[in-house]
Amino acid sequence: MIINWFPGHMAKARRLIEDNLKVIDVVIELVDARIPLSSTNPMIAKLIGQKPSIVVLNKSDLADPECLKEWMAWYKQQGRLVIAMDSKGGKGVKQLTALAQQLAKPKLDHWKARGLKTRSVRTMILGIPNVGKSTLINKLSHRNVAKTADKPGETKGKQWVRIGNQLDLLDTPGVLWPKLEDQVSAYRLAATGAISDTVFDMETVMTQLITELSRWYPQALMTRYKLTELSDDPLVTIDMIGHKRGCIVAGGVVDLEKTYKLILKEFREGKIGPISLDRVAEMTEGAI
Ligand code: G4P
């Protein structure tokens, strides 16, 4: 799999986030509920340090409810505050505001007790590209904030949006680079759309995706594509789907590129079903 990611961007992005974090009291860490650990930047814990933080499992509407429950339990077991969210639909948004305010309270009380002039508590969203940062900012602020460039390191002047009583949100989220060293995570990031289609090998991603879907969600896959069986060979299954969907070129041969795109699009839109790719038991030592 070819991944184009430049260390220069990473260093610049990290510096920018570190700089912004200096004025932040509460961090909102956004991950993709379908791939919570694969969509976690490896450096995030170090960047956040001792600041109060909330993990948001976004796109939970697209995730397998059972896996979602297991991930929620796992994060809680790690001592993290965690919320399942659907930023697009708005589910979880009120709960997030309430929790952020709750986390901010000790700081406000501290200022008050010391007779200091209080200011609002400042919060910031961090996450890899496409995880839903802009969508969440828009929902929280009830306004249309421009989509941020996904290029790490790009920024504009600091602007704050009020999201609750004495709580302000930085309207520019911190864009972190995804975890690409691990090939399984890289494929899952590609499948869910976190990595641009131009930087991965489609056949590798699709054979892995169909292998995992056949293992964990065989019925959903068969129902969606009206198949009576699945093959042990993912490429044969893809071929069957291509035939069913009429992705055919001259000579009755399946147009693989077209079939890949079709399956990928439907998977990303949740049309095959609510599906999770990261699993607690597979990805964590202690499981739950
Ligand atoms: P980013 O700032 O982190 O880069 O992500 P952004 O908000 O742009 O969201 C990326 C895509 O994910 C968008 O889809 C957005 O609608 C979708 N999205 C964000 N949160 C959720 C969620 O909780 N559930 C679901 N199902 N989708 C979510 P898009 O295809 O790029 O645009 P569009 O669908 O809004 O037209």
Q: ipTM of the assembly?
A: 0.97
Q: Output the pLDDT for position 266.
A: 98
Cα-to-centroid distance, 288 and ligand 1 (Å)? 30
Cα of 252 to ligand 1 centre, how many Å?
A: 37
Separation of CA 275 and ligand 1 centre (Å): 17
Look up residue 9 and give its two tokens: 């961007």
Distance, in Å, from the CA atom of 241 to the CA atom of 12, rounded to the nearest integer, reads 43
Q: For ligand 1, atom 30, name the residue with the nearest CA.
A: 269
Do 57 and 33 meet the contact criterion of CB atoms below 8 Å apart? yes
The CATH 1.10.1580.10 portion of the chain extends over 201-283
Angle at 269 between CA 31 and CA 59, to 5 degrees: 25
Pocket (CB within 6 angstroms of ligand 1): 58-59, 61-62, 86-88, 127, 129-135, 147-148, 150
pLDDT in tens, the chain (288 residues): 545 555 677 788 888 899 999 999 999 999 999 999 999 998 899 999 989 999 999 999 999 999 999 999 999 999 999 999 999 999 999 899 989 988 988 888 888 888 887 778 899 999 999 999 999 999 998 765 545 444 444 445 678 998 877 789 998 899 888 888 888 999 999 999 998 767 778 999 999 999 999 999 999 999 999 999 999 999 999 999 999 999 999 899 999 999 999 999 999 999 999 999 999 999 887 544
CA distance 209 to 213: 6
In the chain, residues under CATH classification 3.40.50.300 are 7-175
Question: What is the CATH number assigned to the segment(s) 7-175?
Answer: 3.40.50.300
Tell me the whole-structure pTM to 2 decimals.
0.91
Give the mutation target among 57, 135, 275 for probing the ligand 1 site: most ligand atoms within 8 A of CB.
135
Q: What distance in Å separates the CA atoms of residue 163 and residue 36, rounded to the nearest whole number?
A: 25
Q: How far is the CA of 243 from the centre of ligand 1 (A)?
A: 31
**Around Cβ 282, how many Cβ atoms within 10 Å?**
10
**Residue 37: its pLDDT value, please?**
96
Apex CA 27: angle with CA 169 and CA 78, to 5°?
150
Nearest one of 175, 209, 151, 167 to 4, comparing CA atoms: 151
pLDDT of res. 149: 46
Look at residue 245 in the predicted model and tell me its pLDDT: 96
How far does the centroid of ligand 1 lie from the alpha carbon of residue 51, in Å?
Answer: 27
- Looking at domain 201-283, its CATH class is mainly alpha
